[in-house]
């Protein structure tokens, strides 16, 4: 496993986690494009005892913006349609066990892990005190304004990702038995602020099992980013 290269083989059983951004759910992360991600990784698995988590990030948008009722309904409908289309595609191709795919909203992580509130408060405090961390957050925001709502959006995303990779939340299980690895794969680059918090150990790093605890896989580039190598 090398920084900046593709993964050759994934040992043991575990979870491939695919976050689906609401901003890209109809362009960039369509059901067909989402299917391509886990279909690509299926060839890299040493064991056929792994599950896939499709993680819809609608909750982040609800918490970060003043969203109207109409837009909330629209977001929810997009999620329902995306999941239904993905299920149909899996059933049609008959390559994978449908029950091994779990469709979860990001609020599942927040509600089922006792660490979210703690992690978020740690990040929030650090954002107020650490200018370098704040600079990383600004980079991750792109063209968006540096507001309390947008900061919370980024910090919530970091906290959720850390909980997943540190195996601090239980996922539904179909084929997984030992939960030896959790890899987040996304068609895009990592968050600079997430890499910064990892390298500076802002959040607790207690997991000694998951080889991808400090990593992000960019599916567009087919490259694994190891935060300690940045």
What CATH number does residue 75 fall under? 3.40.50.11710
From the list 15, 36, 33, the residue with the least C-alpha distance to 82 is: 33
The whole-number pLDDT of residue 168 equals 98
The whole-number pLDDT of residue 62 equals 47
Domain-embedded: residue 5? no
| Number of domains present in the structure of the chain | 1
Backbone angles phi, psi at 56, to 5 degrees: -85, 130
From the list 218, 214, 191, the residue with the least C-alpha distance to 204 is: 214
Q: Counting runs of H as helices and runs of E as strands, what totals does the chain give?
A: 8, 6
Backbone angles phi, psi at 168, to 5 degrees: -100, 15
Backbone angles phi, psi at 76, to 5 degrees: -60, -40
Domain-embedded: residue 3? no
Specify whether the CB–CB gap between 79 and 104 falls below 8 A: no
Q: What averages of pLDDT result for each successive group of 10 residues across the chain (230 residues)?
A: 94 97 91 97 94 87 58 84 98 96 95 96 98 98 90 95 98 97 97 98 97 98 96
pTM over 0.75: yes
State the CB neighbour count (10 A cutoff) for residue 159: 26
The whole-number pLDDT of residue 214 equals 98
Domain-embedded: residue 126? yes
Residue with tokens 């886990």: 38
The whole-number pLDDT of residue 176 equals 98
Domain-embedded: residue 80? yes
Report d(CA 10, CA 47) in Å as an integer.
8
Containing structural domain, residue 35: 14-229
Find the farthest-apart pair of alpha carbons in the chain and give their distance in angstroms, rounded: 52
- In this structure, what DSSP letter does residue 191 have? P
Domain-embedded: residue 209? yes
Report d(CA 156, CA 4) in Å as an integer.
26
Name 154's bridge partners: none
Specify whether the CB–CB gap between 135 and 128 falls below 8 A: no
Joined tokens for residue 114: 């006792």
Domain-embedded: residue 9? no
Domain-embedded: residue 97? yes
Domain-embedded: residue 7? no
For the chain, percent helix, then strand, then coil, each to nearest 5? Answer: 45, 15, 40
């Amino acid at each position: 496993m090398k920084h900046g290269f593709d993964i050759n083989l994934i040992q043991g059983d575990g979870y491939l986690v695919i976050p689906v951004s609401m901003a890209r759910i109809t362009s960039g992360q369509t059901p067909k494009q989402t299917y391509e991600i886990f279909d690509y990784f299926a060839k890299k698995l040493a064991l056929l005892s792994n599950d896939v988590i499709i993680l819809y990030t609608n909750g982040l948008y609800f918490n970060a913006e003043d969203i109207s009722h109409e837009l909330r309904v629209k977001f929810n409908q997009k999620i329902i349609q995306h999941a239904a289309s993905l299920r149909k595609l899996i059933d049609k191709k008959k390559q994978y066990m449908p029950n091994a795919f779990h469709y979860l909203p990001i609020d599942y992580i927040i509600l089922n892990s006792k660490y979210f509130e703690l992690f978020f408060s740690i990040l929030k405090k650090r954002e107020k005190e650490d200018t370098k961390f704040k600079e990383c957050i600004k980079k991750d925001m792109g063209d968006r304004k540096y507001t309390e709502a947008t900061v919370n959006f980024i910090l919530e995303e970091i906290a959720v990702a850390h909980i997943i990779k540190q195996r601090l939340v239980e996922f539904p299980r179909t084929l997984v038995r030992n939960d030896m690895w959790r890899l987040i794969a996304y068609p895009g680059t990592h968050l600079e602020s997430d890499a910064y918090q990892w390298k500076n150990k802002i959040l607790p790093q207690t997991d000694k099992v998951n080889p991808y605890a400090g990593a992000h896989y960019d599916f567009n580039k087919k490259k694994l980013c190891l935060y300690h190598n940045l």
